[in-house]
Structure 1
Amino acid sequence: MVGVELLRGVVALDGPSGTGKSTVAKRLARDFGARYLDTGSMYRAATLAVLRAGVEPESSAGADIAVAAAVQAGTDPGNPTICLDGENVAAEIRGLPVTSAVSAVSAHPVVRHALVELQRRIIAEVLADETRAGIVVEGRDIGTVVTPDAPLKVYLTASDEIRASRRSGQDRRAGRGGDHASTLLAVQRRDALDSGRATSPLRPAEDAVMLDTSELDIGGVLAALRELVRDRGLSWSRGPGMVR
């Protein structure tokens, strides 16, 4: 039997919304038999807890609720799950109420600290399991805060117009409605909030590889990422019955 190409260590994928992060992160993880962690969904689940409590996202009470929220994130790239108090909230966290409030909730330093610690524990558990490959982690502060020692950090970018078009297309396919103009404003607002927050602002790590996805389809982005993984020596082959 032919060996399987697997990932060694952590690939950190950062960037704003609409750059294709989630799609390519899951695909890359599947290509290399790795696990996958969507840190953005964790902040969204914590935000949902705040909204369900009827508390202002910007308030200290909102921060307390977010920190106390029981957020569980699965790492199977074929079926990534996100639960709040044991309830699957994957669909609800993508709605407009959570999208509008998540930047405010995630700006609280105590919320970021709590979720970064949880994210690091998840990553450490994956890396400690010798029967598994590595992990692809996506978010907005992975290379700068969560895993600053990741052997490969990539920051995805794309023009505002392209990102808004992609996001509005995703919303329509998911039945959430929305139009390009309002989506563009929402994308630009989220960028400003995430880049301007005092704690863990959205920015590329100093040693991150910048990859503009404006003119690339999913296949093109994946090809570039696979090449980077191999160039960094992060791929390895496992034959039948072998462990790393």
Structure 2
Amino acid sequence: MLGVLRGVVALDGPSGTGKTTVARTLAGRLGAGYLDTGAMYRAVTLAALRSGVDPADPVALEKVTEGADIGVGTDPDEPVIVLDEDDVGEAIRGADVTAAVSAVAAVPSVRRILVEVQRAIIEDVLDEYGGIVVEGRDIGTVVAPEAELKVYLTASTGVRAARRSAQDSAAGRQAEPDEVRAAVERRDRLDSGRATDPLRPAEDAVELDTSDLDLEQVVAVLVERIAERDMLGESTPAAGMWPGTEGGSAP
């Protein structure tokens, strides 16, 4: 092992930049916890859709978020997401959720509730194991502004659309390339243009364009940045004991 991560790595960026794969790989290599905050917004979106709630109704969405029984695992090898005791890891990646999640994530009360939960999870993991890699769109600016390392991943629109198409195809979700590109561009506009916690790099973030880099190259750059900040320790956490929310409604 390269060493065990100590502290928080905040990994932000738009869709298709490789955040999830990079974050999980990095956390696994460095014996750290892992948190996918985007999956939490997707779970709330799925809860809203299942309840027949209009994604444009902020009052109803706040109630859904408060009542949602969401559990999220922090093991990078098995990052489960549970809604009402149902594993929804596949369901939250469906086209209906993808189309509505930006609208749901733009609601200030939804963000306030989930950010509070996300911060609690981060603290739990840090208390138990010392390090965590957190991915999303507002980690370095809102969720963990004191993170020891903040990274903002970018890539060209064409590359990101191609990656998303490949990801969808691998999961059995077929879509036309033009439709995927349009969806990526739409998500960029919505996430960057929302009034509350818009997608943007933190002022002190390391910006890394992944367009021409493979996974190993990206991870190598991040490990180097982590080492430069003296964030690597020697002890190893107990295997299979990653904490996370074990279900339970958001506060």
* TM-score for the superposition, normalised by structure 2: 0.92
Aligned twin of 1:198:
195
User: Kindly, what percent of the aligned residue pairs are identical?
Assistant: 59
Q: 1:240 Cα deviation (Å)?
A: 10
Contact 2:9 2:134 survives alignment (8 Å): yes
Letter in 1 for 2:110: V
d(CA) in 1 for partners of 2:100, 2:81: 18
Aligned twin of 1:48:
46
Change (3 A) 1:190 1:231: same
Aligned twin of 1:148:
145
1:53-92 superposed matches below 5 A:
53-59=51-57, 60-92=59-91
Contact 2:2 2:29 survives alignment (8 Å): no
Aligned twin of 1:8:
6
Aligned twin of 1:103:
102
Q: 1:86 Cα deviation (Å)?
A: 1.5
Letter in 1 for 2:50: R
Aligned twin of 2:21:
23
Contact 2:65 2:113 survives alignment (8 Å): no
Q: 1:4 Cα deviation (Å)?
A: 6.6
Contact 1:140 1:202 survives alignment (8 Å): yes
Letter in 1 for 2:152: Y
Q: Does 1:232 align with 2:229?
A: yes
Change (3 A) 1:110 1:217: same
Contact 1:105 1:111 survives alignment (8 Å): yes
Change (3 A) 1:145 1:239: closer
Change (3 A) 1:164 1:239: closer
Q: Structure 1 residues 57-66 or 12-21, which shifts more? A: 57-66
Q: How many residues align?
A: 237
Deviation per residue, 1:24-72 (Å, 9 max, x gap): 1000001100000000000000000000011110112133213321211
Gap regions ≥5 residues in structure 2: 239-251
Gap regions ≥5 residues in structure 1: none
Contact 2:82 2:88 survives alignment (8 Å): yes
Aligned-CA RMSD value: 1.4
d(CA) in 1 for partners of 2:114, 2:125: 17
Aligned twin of 1:137:
134
Aligned twin of 2:164:
167
Q: Which runs of 4+ in 1 moved over 6 A?
A: none
* TM-score for the superposition, normalised by structure 1: 0.94
Aligned twin of 2:241:
none
Change (3 A) 1:50 1:239: closer
d(CA) in 1 for partners of 2:176, 2:220: 31
**Local SS of the residue matching 1:153:** strand
Aligned twin of 2:242:
none
Q: Structure 1 residues 56-65 or 4-13, which shifts more? A: 56-65
Deviation per residue, 1:112-164 (Å, 9 max, x gap): 000000000000011111xx240000000000000000010000000000000
Q: 1:101 Cα deviation (Å)?
A: 0.4
Aligned twin of 2:123:
124
Aligned twin of 1:216:
213
Deviation per residue, 1:77-117 (Å, 9 max, x gap): 00001011111100000000000000011110000000000
Letter in 2 for 1:212: D
Contact 1:39 1:119 survives alignment (8 Å): yes
**Local SS of the residue matching 2:38:** helix
